[in-house]
Amino acid sequence: MAIVKRYSHGHAHGTALRSDELSTPSVVRDYLEPTQSMLDGNEYDSKSSYYKHLDDNDCYIVGNDSGIENPGPKPYKPEGVGQSVKDAIDQLESS
């Protein structure tokens, strides 16, 4: 476990931060690959206009499609377990 102490105005020794140590602003683009709305068939190329369109029609986005492109690991299915369960049920029913 690491413990980090941050100083808001320079380093612990009172020296000023160098320009490469200063935080930089994040840029969030409004651009959206042209996306066709399933509601009205229009194409939207900005996130804000597409989200406003959905909001105006009482719709919202649920989740994302990243699972289609990257489904993740396959579920663990040990071999022979199904047959073992069937055998155990048969044994219980026969006793």
Residue 58 lies in a domain: yes
Beta bridge partners of 46: 31
The pLDDT value given to residue 5: 47
Q: In the numeric block, which tokens belong to residue 67?
A: 């699972």
Residue 43 lies in a domain: yes
Residue 18 lies in a domain: no
CB 57 within 8 A of CB 39: yes
Placement of tokens 């930089």 in the chain: 24
56: nearest Cα among 73, 39, 71: 39
- For residue 61, give Cα distances in angstroms to 27, 38, 54, 57: 22, 12, 8, 12
pLDDT of 16 above 90: no
Residue 93 lies in a domain: no
- Domain count for the chain, please give it: 1
pLDDT band of 82, cuts 50, 70, 90: confident
Question: Does the predicted model carry a pTM greater than 0.85?
Answer: no
The pLDDT value given to residue 1: 42
Q: pLDDT tens for residues 25-74?
A: 777 888 889 989 989 999 999 999 999 999 999 988 877 666 667 777 78
Residue 16 lies in a domain: no
